[in-house]
Chains A and B, each alone.
Chain A
Amino acid sequence: MIEIADGEISLEQMVERARSSQAGAVVSFLGTVRDDGIEGMEVEAFRDAALSELEAIRQEAMSRFSLIAAEVAHRTGRLEVGEAIVAIVCSAAHREEAFSGCRYILEELKSRAPLWKKEISGEGGRWVEGK
């Protein structure tokens, strides 16, 4: 399941959906707002384009790493320090595939999904420079 939403991410529900009797490994990744002297973060998405790009990335990961399930959730809107920005859960028969799938989805998301972050501090906001 792919999700881009303002609401809090439920990693537990994502893990639950990814579990199956065929899976011997469920790997999860949570990216959170780090306190770099900021008050919080705002995340913006080109939602429809990001959803289809994330679905393409998910499909690639599923076939490359023989995943059983892959779940991706990305927050938008205002986030406080410590809150989850992104969550990825991959299940596979064995741990190597599940770790690799999780890493692949994260790295591809960062370079391909139209999403942007703005750090909010007392001095105002600063868009995080993308690559």
Chain B
Amino acid sequence: MRVKVLAFAGFREILGRDREVELPGDASIGELLETLASGSPRFREAAFEPSGILRDYVLLMVNRKRIDAEKDLSRILADGDELAIFPPLAGG
């Protein structure tokens, strides 16, 4: 399946604004993040603690809905899903 990845602010500077990623049919959000980290040591360093846990300033949306990065990393993605990755919000 193919999923779309959007990245913003510091994560955009590492990953680019958007890209499509090919994944096995039953891949989870966590596996997508691992795929991105495998292709980019900079992204791994920015997004993950040395222990492998996602850093707490990594915010995620799937199909424009915020998800809890602690609880929902095992959620299975569907073909055509859109994952957005960004740091804490700083508008206004």
Contacts and interface: CB of A to CB of B under 8 A. Distances in A.
Interface of A: 31, 43-46, 48-50, 52, 74, 85-86, 106, 109-118, 127-131
Given A46-B84, A48-B64, A49-B64, A112 B8 contact: no
A109 B86 CA distance: 16
A128 B86 CA distance: 13
| Interface of B (DSSP majority class) | loop
A46 B91 contact: no
Given A44-B8, A44-B9, A46-B6, A116 B92 contact: no
Contacts of A112: 89
Interface of B: 6, 8-10, 12, 61, 64, 84, 86-92
Given A49-B61, A114-B61, 17 more contacts: A44-B12, A46-B6, A46-B8, A46-B86, A49-B64, A49-B84, A50-B91, A52-B64, A74-B91, A106-B92, A114-B86, A114-B91, A115-B91, A116-B87, A116-B89, A130-B88, A131-B88
Contacts of A114: 8, 61, 84, 86, 89, 91
A128 B89 CA distance: 9
Contact of B92 (A44, A46, A110, A118): A110
Contacts of B64: 48-49, 52
